[in-house]
């Protein structure tokens, strides 16, 4: 046996769909002109995949965990740690992270603007720095700004619990007290409340806010945490699978998932190939990473956005741009690479949100059995020789097709 | 409900394959002329089966356990007990068994020949007898010769653990000390070390070895255990399923699996039908057993050997001989029998070793639904009405098709 083949997993976000009335009850994939995606189907082995389990509607975080072979029911307690890792705060197992908003409150702790006058960098950068490193008894608060009015908070210390309610009231209302949702979460809830109170003390007279008030803008005088989650005790990808790995993704949450799982995240997906679209840049970056790594995951977001916007025609156009990306992959992959075309979930355009429908899956490798599937779409793939599998089974299947699997027994 | 139908499971070892370049990217099954195997597909219901779970690369031992309905993750700790049972040493739950080599060591306990000059029966028979029944404190060692220079060791007593390292250094090196791999395994490791030491004391001046030395041959002056495994606490097949059962297999390891699960192993698969191949002998033996038993498992090895040899043409020829065997089965089975055609794992000829790909499966019974599958192969079966199932689900499905299943609920 050789050292095993390389593996490229292409996740086309929200790609799968349902029968769309305005498309004659076909799906966007069935309507798009996509000879290169279809080339993989013709030469590969296809099936459908319940990314979590049948009928379960995945988030982008739980789905990517499953696709990387981590059971989300075991490792996922909330979005917080993955958002935090997305902006670069990667904690250790047991650290608890929160998503936060910079907000504006009055003297009575009533929220009067949940986005603090749509504050953004560089103001948030300075304000986050003012809060970062705050000591709350034995607990340390780590704070980092995220996009626009958002930030990440990570609590580090022993005995922390993610089972605390949000301080963010999610409305123009009085700031909520974080309450323990389990008996052993009292200390964590208290730390959250102290953090929120002291964020007000630190921020209310901060020079950045004094300047904003002078400019007639809302001050960001409080940081409101929500969505607590604990960093899971996760076996790093490289030690779990014995493969070096990179993740190519533009979305912060997906980058966070990759970082928590131990993949190297490629920040700059720039491309020297002369094309200027985001997709082709990602394809180039993925091909570059395949030169030096065993495993590459890439996530391409456009189709999900089209679906959230409810626009089937734009989704078809995005699929046709994905097809151009698939051409670059097809022409550029090292010989013998195992390539998986998949989605993290369906996002039906008429629903405008994720659904629990299975996603189309094609696995291409030169010696894979050819199953007669001629098109990469929801219906054609369902007739393929992979049948119907689950997301957590994808990695074992790819590893076996790459001739990297351990034998169980003799 | 009547008493239920009879069940015949035919395991064609290593049968499944991948797309073979020299066969125009088809599999050996897709290339072979096999009208009788196809008859079962045409008249039966087909699917694909992950013998362990998707992408997991099965050994022949773990796979046969799963196919008999025993979860290998619960009952398998190593090959030792099944090898021991293969040569007739069937222990009770908790007994720990090892595979062993008769080897040659010098005075310094350095292995100078791992096969003791390719010793075999009847020398090994006598030497095994000299070690059999050795008392090691409260523990008894049971020893039996196997093929060529091999033997099986079974330790019987209370509180034994399979979590001990090998005394066999697996190289021309000093004999290893068996070490406990878990805290409660110290007594077992000590018993192994004492056994190895005393095997040297008993064997070094044994008349067989004195004679071998006089003849210029290497003496088998030590027995080196490896691959510890515990006899599982397994519910015997007959009480688990309420069916009498026989196993027809030529390979010692498979015979061992059958014995540990409580099947009667048919040693002499001779056939009076006038054909002289091993396969037809096994078909005759299986048909004979079906006369007096409810369930028969047969294993036919040839295709796996062709694959390990990397020879697609020989594999096609073996499949065509399997087809002749299928003809004998088809013509000889009692009316109403449920027949399953399956493999224990794929062994792709280009890989030369087991893979985790799903195996083709056809279940034939007169009243089974006909799904339009016309060929018994990896691609055609994947389109069948059984879909994609797991190995541990095969027995419940067969039992139900045999009208022997219990109702769950009212």
The per-residue pLDDT for range B327-379, each reduced to its tens digit, is 999 999 999 999 999 999 999 999 999 999 999 999 999 999 999 999 999 99
Chain A (61-80) residues lying within 8 Å, Cβ to Cβ, of chain B? none
CB contacts of A49 in chain B (<8 Å) are none
Nearest CA in chain A to B308: A1
- Nearest by CB to residue B355, choosing from A384, A385, A400, is A400
Contact B27 A398 (CB under 8 A): no
Model pLDDT, residue A271? 56
Model pLDDT, residue B171? 94
Say which CATH superfamily domain A7-76+233-401 falls into.
Alkaline Phosphatase, subunit A (3.40.720.10)
Say which CATH superfamily domain B7-76+232-401 falls into.
Alkaline Phosphatase, subunit A (3.40.720.10)
Structure-block tokens of residue B112: 């100078």
- Nearest by CB to residue B350, choosing from A367, A386, A405, is A367
Distance CA B120, CA B115 (A): 9
Q: CA B180 from chain center: how many Å?
A: 27
Domain boundaries, chain A: 7-76+233-401, 82-230
Model pLDDT, residue A1? 41
A14-24: burial string, b at 16+ Cβ within 10 Å, e else: bbbbbebeebe
Output DSSP code: residue B3. Answer: S
Task: Return the percentage of chain A with pLDDT > 70, whole number.
Answer: 97
Provide mean pLDDT across the span B284-301. 95
Model pLDDT, residue A77? 85
CB contacts of A388 in chain B (<8 Å) are 387-388
Structure-block tokens of residue B282: 């096994």
Contact A383 B383 (CB under 8 A): yes
**How far A81 CA sits from the closest chain B CA (Å)?**
30
pLDDT by residue (tens digit) across B127-146?
A: 999 999 999 999 999 999 99
Model pLDDT, residue B55? 98
Local structure of B104: helix, strand or coil: strand
Local structure of B364: helix, strand or coil: strand
Contact B59 A366 (CB under 8 A): no
pLDDT at A275 over 60: no
Distance CA B188, CA B157 (A): 10
Residue B231's pLDDT band (boundaries 50, 70, 90)? very high
**How far A291 CA sits from the closest chain B CA (Å)?**
24
Nearest to B13 by CA among B47, B63, B49: B63
Mean pLDDT check: name the lowest of A191-195, B52-56, B74-78, B110-114: B74-78
Distance CA A318, CA A323 (A): 9
Residue bearing the bigger pLDDT, B279 or A170: A170
Ramachandran region, residue B48 (left: φ > 0; alpha: ψ -120 to 50; beta: rest):
beta
CB A140 within 8 A of CB A165: no
Model pLDDT, residue B270? 65
Provide mean pLDDT across the span B280-296. 94
**How far B212 CA sits from the closest chain A CA (Å)?**
33
Which 3-state string (H, E, C) describes chain A? CCCCCCEEEEEECCEECCCEHHHCCECHHHHCCCHHHHHHHHHCEEEEEECCCCCCCCCHHHHHHHHCCCCHHHHCCCCHHHHHHHCCCCCCCCCEEEEEEEEEECCCCEEEECCCCCCCCCHHHHHHHHHCCEEECCEEEEEEECCCCEEEEEEECCCCCCCECCCCCCCCCECCCCCECCHHHHHHHHHHHHHHHHHHHHHCCCHHHHHHHHCCCCCCCEEEEEEEEECCCCCCHHHHHCCCEEEECCCHHHHHHHHHCCCEEECCCCCCCCCCCHHHHHHHHHHHHHHHCCEEEEEECHHHHHHHCCCHHHHHHHHHHHHHHHHHHHHHCCCCCEEEEECCCECCCCCCCCECCCEEEEEECCCCCCCCCCCCCHHHHHCCCCEEEEHHHHHHHHHHHCCCCCEECC
pLDDT at A237 over 60: yes
Contact B387 A386 (CB under 8 A): no
**How far B237 CA sits from the closest chain A CA (Å)?**
21
Residue A269's pLDDT band (boundaries 50, 70, 90)? low
Distance CA A361, CA A30 (A): 14
CB contacts of A409 in chain B (<8 Å) are 58-63, 72, 76, 79
> Across the A/B interface, how many CB contacts are shorter than 8 Å?
101
Helix (H) or strand (E) holding B316: helix B312-332
Side-chain half-sphere of A146: how many Cα atoms within 13 Å?
28
Contact B54 A367 (CB under 8 A): no
Nearest CA in chain A to B20: A367
- Nearest by CB to residue A408, choosing from B18, B48, B62, is B62
**How far A15 CA sits from the closest chain B CA (Å)?**
24
Helix (H) or strand (E) holding B187: helix B186-203
Helix (H) or strand (E) holding B195: helix B186-203
Distance CA A175, CA B159 (A): 60
Provide mean pLDDT across the span B205-222. 97
Helix (H) or strand (E) holding B84: helix B80-86
Helix (H) or strand (E) holding B256: helix B252-260
Contact A408 B253 (CB under 8 A): no
CB A15 within 8 A of CB A301: no
CB contacts of B54 in chain A (<8 Å) are 389-390, 393, 396-397
**How far B257 CA sits from the closest chain A CA (Å)?**
12
- Nearest by CB to residue A403, choosing from B21, B79, B351, is B351
Residue A274's pLDDT band (boundaries 50, 70, 90)? very low
Nearest CA in chain A to B386: A387
β-strand partners of A16: A346
CB contacts of B353 in chain A (<8 Å) are 1, 407
Contact B52 A408 (CB under 8 A): yes
pLDDT by residue (tens digit) across B19-41?
A: 999 999 999 999 999 999 999 99
- Nearest by CB to residue B379, choosing from A385, A390, A408, is A385
Chain A (343-382) residues lying within 8 Å, Cβ to Cβ, of chain B? 366-372
pLDDT at B273 over 60: no
Structure-block tokens of residue B254: 């498979």
Residue B149's pLDDT band (boundaries 50, 70, 90)? very high
- Nearest by CB to residue A369, choosing from B253, B378, B387, is B378
Model pLDDT, residue B278? 76
**C-alpha torsion A8→A14→A15→A16, nearest 10:** 120
Average pLDDT over chain B reads 95
Task: Return the percentage of chain B with pLDDT > 90, whole number.
Answer: 92
pLDDT at B274 over 70: no
pLDDT by residue (tens digit) across B152-211?
A: 999 999 999 999 999 999 999 999 999 999 999 999 999 999 999 999 999 999 999 999
Contact A385 B48 (CB under 8 A): yes
pLDDT by residue (tens digit) across A208-232?
A: 999 999 999 999 999 999 999 999 9
Give yes or no for A50 touching B (CB within 8 A): no
Provide mean pLDDT across the span A281-307. 94
């Amino acid at each position: 046996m050789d050292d095993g083949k390389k593996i490229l997993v292409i996740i086309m976000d929200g790609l799968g769909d349902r029968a769309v009335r305005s498309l004659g009850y076909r799906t966007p994939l069935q309507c798009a002109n996509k000879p290169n995606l279809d080339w993989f189907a013709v030469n590969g082995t296809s099936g459908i995949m319940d990314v979590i389990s049948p009928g379960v509607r995945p988030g982008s975080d739980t789905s990517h965990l499953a696709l990387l072979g981590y059971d989300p029911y075991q490792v996922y307690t909330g979005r917080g740690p993955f958002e935090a890792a997305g902006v670069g705060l990667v904690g250790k197992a047991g650290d608890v992270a929160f998503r936060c908003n910079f907000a504006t409150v009055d003297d009575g702790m009533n929220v009067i603007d949940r986005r603090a006058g749509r504050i953004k960098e560089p103001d948030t950068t300075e304000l986050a720095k003012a809060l970062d490193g705050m000591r709350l008894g034995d607990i340390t608060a780590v704070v980092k700004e995220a996009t626009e009015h958002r930030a990440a908070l990570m609590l580090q210390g022993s005995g922390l619990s993610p089972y605390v309610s949000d301080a963010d009231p999610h409305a123009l209302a009085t700031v909520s007290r974080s309450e323990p949702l389990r008996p052993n979460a009292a200390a964590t809830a208290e730390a959250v409340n102290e953090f929120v109170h002291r964020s007000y003390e630190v921020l209310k007279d901060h020079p950045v806010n004094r300047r904003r008030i002078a400019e007639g803008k809302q001050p960001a005088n409080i940081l409101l945490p929500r969505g607590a989650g604990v960093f899971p005790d996760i076996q790093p990808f490289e030690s779990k699978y014995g493969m070096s790995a990179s993740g190519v993704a533009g979305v912060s949450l997906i980058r966070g998932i990759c970082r928590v799982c131990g993949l190297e995240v490629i920040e700059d997906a720039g491309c020297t190939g002369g094309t200027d679209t985001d997709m082709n840049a990602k394809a180039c970056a993925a091909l570059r990473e395949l030169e030096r790594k065993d495993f590459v995951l890439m996530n391409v977001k456009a189709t999900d956005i089209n679906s959230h916007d409810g626009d089937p025609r734009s989704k078809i156009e995005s699929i046709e741009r994905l097809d151009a990306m698939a051409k670059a992959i097809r022409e550029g992959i090292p010989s013998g690479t195992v390539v998986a075309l998949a989605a993290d979930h369906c996002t039906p355009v008429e629903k405008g949100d994720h659904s629990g429908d299975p996603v189309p899956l094609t696995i291409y490798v030169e010696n894979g059995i050819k199953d007669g599937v001629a098109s990469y779409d929801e219906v054609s793939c369902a007739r393929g020789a992979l049948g119907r599998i689950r997301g957590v089974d994808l990695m074992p299947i790819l590893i076996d097709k790459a001739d990297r699997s351990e034998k169980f027994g003799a």
